[in-house]
Amino acid sequence: MEKVRVRYAPSPTGHLHIGGARTALFNYLFAKHHGGDFIFRLEDTDIERNIEGGEASQLENLAWLGIIPDESPLNPKPEYAPYRQMERLDIYRKYTQELLDRGLAYKCFCTPEELDAEHERQVEAGVAPMYNRKCRDLTAEEVAAKEAAGIPYTIRLRVPANKTYEFDDMIRGHVSFESNDIGDWVIVKANGIPTYNYAVVIDDHTMEITHVFRGEEHLSNTPKQMMVFEMLGWKAPTYGHMTLIVNEQRKKLSKRDESIMQFVSQYKEEGYLPDAMFNFMALLGWSPEGEQEIFTKEELIKEFSETRLSKSPSMFDKDKLTWVNNRYIKERSLEDVVALCRPFLEEAYDLSSKSEQWINDLVATYHDQLSYGKEIVSLVDLFFTDELNLDEEAKEFMKDETIPNTLKVFKAQLENLEEFTKENIQACIKATQKEAKAKGKMLYMPLRIATTGIMHGPDLASSICLLGKEKVLSRLG
């Protein structure tokens, strides 16, 4: 097999979206599975839509996920460079001239107004809008005269009649399109810049791309690209069109959908772990053979097979994402998790009076249940507030008549403590059980609610220790 070369080719029109990240990820896994190369190419020909810093942000977020391109604008190979389309205009120009010379493309002088009017007419007449080929057969003299008059023009491909374009999609199987359904499309815009469908062919060929995984929105572009490959006598790569990512209501993700954080940077900012994101995204539209769900990057590379890419939309399951993240956080050392949580704690609370040991103990208490770094802020709120706001259920529970005595006994126990340690507090709980004759739920629940304000939480003795003697005694009334 020839060396596998795949590419992720974003337009720098925005930051790394989870859809784009998944596309990059599957291309990456496929390349690495086959010992091939993963290339990053910038498709920046839509100059009005490009944003400042778009390329850097894409690359940085990919790197955060652990997807480092073998080749990119920052890491070029001379035989394939440059890697930004706007730096490749000379390359496109050469092939455009060839297509014009061979009569496979032609200059179109129709104005945008004329084209719009024609489009409207066709829509009104109920026919599929398509370029009416007005400029298709202009004579060389007519073309020369229009050019001499300085009339702007686009260049269109002369789409062959009665041809079927078919291919075996790695995900969808056999797909075919009729050329008669495709109008003579623009390959070079009036500003001299090629369109996506045209530039992509020249790039995929000259960069020796062997396989392409991309979003299903590109499926209908494929026949257009195939005709250019054919005209230039080149072999098209093998394509795989991935299905949509949908939200929990099974709706296609729209940019405005706020039910899901859609940009990779948002996950980074909220303290998700990159290896967990990598794992989670690999399961967005791909499934392994067995039941296993937690995979290292190396395992994913080994297991990946394009034959197991899903044909149906993949749901972005937020609960699964937090579950996967929690699994990864649990595996991390306490030191790592403290480092992950610290910026969030610092931003939310005044830590100036807290010792390093206290912060470590605080994070340790939540280490096993934490799903993402920022979550620590809401979990530890009770250690930073003076007022406890009990919910109705807790208030109801505290009405039991045995409770005041249990709390009194416990308070007396704690008051006598010389050292306010977790072990000693645990001993006080035990002593309270005996002395107040409270056990099980009637022991732990009142102590927990009275000291922390919540009915369910981490280890009680640890929580009480973190709260500190003074605060606990005052809460016990």
The interface region with ligand GLU, picked from 5-13, 163-171, 313-321, 461-469 by CB under 6 A, is 5-13
* Total of residues contacting ligand GLU (CB under 6 A): 8
Query: Smallest Cα–Cα separation from 380: which of 455, 452, 472, 475?
Result: 452
Residue in the structure block whose two tokens are 């706020």: 258
The interface region with ligand GLU, picked from 7-15, 136-144, 323-331, 373-381 by CB under 6 A, is 7-15
200 or 264: CB nearest ligand GLU: 200
* CA distances to 105, 113, 136, 440 from 133, in Å: 12, 15, 5, 84
340 phi and psi angles, rounded to 5 deg = -65, -40
Q: Known binder of ligand: residue 465?
A: no
Crossing angle for the helix pair 318-331 and 274-282, to the nearest 10 degrees? 140
Pair type for strands 211-215 and 238-242: parallel
Q: Which of 107, 252, 255, 411 is catalytic?
A: 255
**CA neighbours within 13 Å on the CB side: how many for 109?**
14
218 or 408: CB nearest ligand GLU: 218
Binding of ligand GLU by 43 (CB under 6 A): yes
Q: Name residues whose C-beta falls within 8 Å of residue 476's C-beta, 6 or more positions apart in sequence.
A: 407, 410, 411, 414, 450, 451
Binding of ligand GLU by 214 (CB under 6 A): yes
Task: Record the tokens describing residue 436, joined without a space.
Answer: 């107040």
10 or 223: CB nearest ligand GLU: 10
Binding of ligand GLU by 354 (CB under 6 A): no
Binding of ligand GLU by 55 (CB under 6 A): no
Q: In the chain, how long is the greatest CA-to-CA distance?
A: 109
Interface residue with ligand GLU among 10, 12, 237, 457 (CB under 6 A) is: 10
Is 251 an active-site residue?
Answer: no
9 or 363: CB nearest ligand GLU: 9
Q: Known binder of ligand: residue 341?
A: no
The interface region with ligand GLU, picked from 3-11, 243-251, 390-398, 420-428 by CB under 6 A, is 3-11
Binding of ligand GLU by 11 (CB under 6 A): yes
447 phi and psi angles, rounded to 5 deg = -65, -40
Q: Known binder of ligand: residue 459?
A: no
Binding of ligand GLU by 200 (CB under 6 A): yes
Contact 303, 288 (CB under 8 A): yes
Known binding-site residue numbers for ATP: 255
Known binding-site residue numbers for Zn(2+): 108, 110, 135, 137
Chain contacts with ligand GLU (rule: CB under 6 A): 9-11, 43, 200, 212, 214, 218
Active site residues: 255
